[in-house]
């Protein structure tokens, strides 16, 4: 057996990041300290704290001895909502619900997804190309990624983080800042498609989510209820369609019924 000795340069950074909205401390997440403005904007959008990016007036990152504070200035009309959903939480890697103080906070009010079609070869192309665009993953082996691909499977934006939820929030924030149209492509993630990932994708206004790992039962139920096309186990030349299977297709075959595993012909 061969043993390798790791250096600090091969370790992913994970620090406490406090999200403070209009002076109100809302959440403390363990996150990779990159693209924090994207993270703040994406979190505000996917958690339903604001309805659109224009309600976020500014983001400032402050360094402290114990971690980072991200101060987000949001519209006054959003403060009531913020106070109702206020959470004080110490987030753990991969944790999306730590500190939620009521069951009502678990399921958000979600829009119906736009009706988009995903070419299976474009999906294959996007996932195959994602690894090369994950410098932190290649360096440390410890991060997840979320990416936006166009209809041809070309990756337009990629964000990384030690937490899968954080990576998706960073992607949503980056897409919002870039003005990326969400009805003309799909989201790729390098993790399982938990129900929080489905909710965040719907909040972002996207119509399709494709994941390397499988979804949970609740994720599939939410995807079906809101017309989100959901694919999991996207690996090599195969994948499983869990929701909106008829929207994963190419000129060779349509995919029906739901929850069937297919290889690319």
The set of catalytic residues is: 95
Contact call for residues 48 and 203 (beta carbons, < 8 A): yes
Tell me how far apart the alpha carbons of residues 260 and 136 are, in angstroms, rounded to a whole number: 33
Tell me how far CA of residue 254 lies from CA of 115, 228, 246, in angstroms.
16, 17, 6
Tell me how far apart the alpha carbons of residues 138 and 128 are, in angstroms, rounded to a whole number: 14
Pairing of strands 155-161, 144-150: antiparallel
Closest by CA position to 218, among listed 245, 195, 189, 244:
195
Cis before 65? omega within 30:
no
Contact call for residues 196 and 181 (beta carbons, < 8 A): no
């Amino acid at each position: 057996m061969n043993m390798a000795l790791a250096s600090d340069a091969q370790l992913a950074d994970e620090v406490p990041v406090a999200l403070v909205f209009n002076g109100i401390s809302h959440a403390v997440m363990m996150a990779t300290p990159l693209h924090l403005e994207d993270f703040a904007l994406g979190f505000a959008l996917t958690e339903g704290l604001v309805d659109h990016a224009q309600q976020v007036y500014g983001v400032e990152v402050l360094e402290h001895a114990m971690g980072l504070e991200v101060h987000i200035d949001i519209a006054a009309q959003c403060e009531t909502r913020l106070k109702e959903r206020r959470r004080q939480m110490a987030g753990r890697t991969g944790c999306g619900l730590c500190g939620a103080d009521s069951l009502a906070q678990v399921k958000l009010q979600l829009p119906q997804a736009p009706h988009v079609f995903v070419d299976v070869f474009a999906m294959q192309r996007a996932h195959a190309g994602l690894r090369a665009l994950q410098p932190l993953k290649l360096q440390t082996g410890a991060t997840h990624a979320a990416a936006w691909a166009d209809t041809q499977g070309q990756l337009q934006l990629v964000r990384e983080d030690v937490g899968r939820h954080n990576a998706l929030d960073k992607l949503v924030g980056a897409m919002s800042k870039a003005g990326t149209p969400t009805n003309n492509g799909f989201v790729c993630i390098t993790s399982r498609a938990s129900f929080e990932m489905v909710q965040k994708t719907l909040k972002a206004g996207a119509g399709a989510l494709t994941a390397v790992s499988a979804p949970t039962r609740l994720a599939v139920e939410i995807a079906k209820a809101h017309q989100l096309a959901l694919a999991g186990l996207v690996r090599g030349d195969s994948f499983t369609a869990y929701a909106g299977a008829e929207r994963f297709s190419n000129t060779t075959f349509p995919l029906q019924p739901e929850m069937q595993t297919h290889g690319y012909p």
